[in-house]
Amino acid sequence: MKTLYLIGFMGSGKSTIGEMLSNTLSLPHIDTDHMVEEVYGQTIASIFQSDGEGTFRAYESEVLKKTPPQNHIISTGGGIVEREENTLFMKTNGVVIYLATSFREIAKRLEDDQSRPLWSQNIQEKKNLFNRREKLYEGNADKLIHTDNKSAAEIIEEIKALLG
């Protein structure tokens, strides 16, 4: 089976769904955010703080390109779609699944989140980022799953049905 790449905004459930899908399909799971932290020995927040977003994006592209094109579930960071080289890589090598979550739902889920550098901006900046990204997710996905008001188990069932 081709590797599955989960894309979507921060808080859309990519890591949780990736982990569950990995158990259900008995395929190994890789989270690109965790990979960056392991390979470069720094938390994402500290990379943003000390070296800036550009350095994080370069690290993120590096690790993405090391992901195997077969039989893996990959949870990506919300900004993976910012670079065309990344979307091209995912589309060429795997199946890209967009976990589509509304801004309202994301804002609820991340209400108390302090760990994500790009979620610490003001509400209008977050909304602008969401609107811009939404088009990138839609434009680069092979499959789209709406996640609002659905349990993780329901989302897993939908993904399995989509894969046939």
Please give the residue ranges that form the binding site for ligand S3P (CB under 6 A): 10, 14-15, 33, 44, 77-79, 116-118
Between 10 and 74, CB nearer to ligand S3P = 10
* Residue nearest ligand S3P (C-beta atom): 77
In terms of DSSP H, where are the helices of 8-102?
14-25, 32-40, 44-51, 53-64, 84-93
Question: CB 19 → ligand S3P: shortest distance, Å?
Answer: 12
Between 78 and 94, CB nearer to ligand S3P = 78
Nearest to 75 by CA among 122, 2, 137, 7: 7
Q: Could you give the 3-state DSSP secondary structure of residue 95?
A: strand
Please tell me the distance from the alpha carbon of residue 100 to that of residue 90, in angstroms, as a whole number. Answer: 17
Between 15 and 55, CB nearer to ligand S3P = 15
Between 70 and 146, CB nearer to ligand S3P = 146
Please tell me the distance from the alpha carbon of residue 39 to that of residue 36, in angstroms, as a whole number. Answer: 5
Question: CB 60 → ligand S3P: shortest distance, Å?
Answer: 7
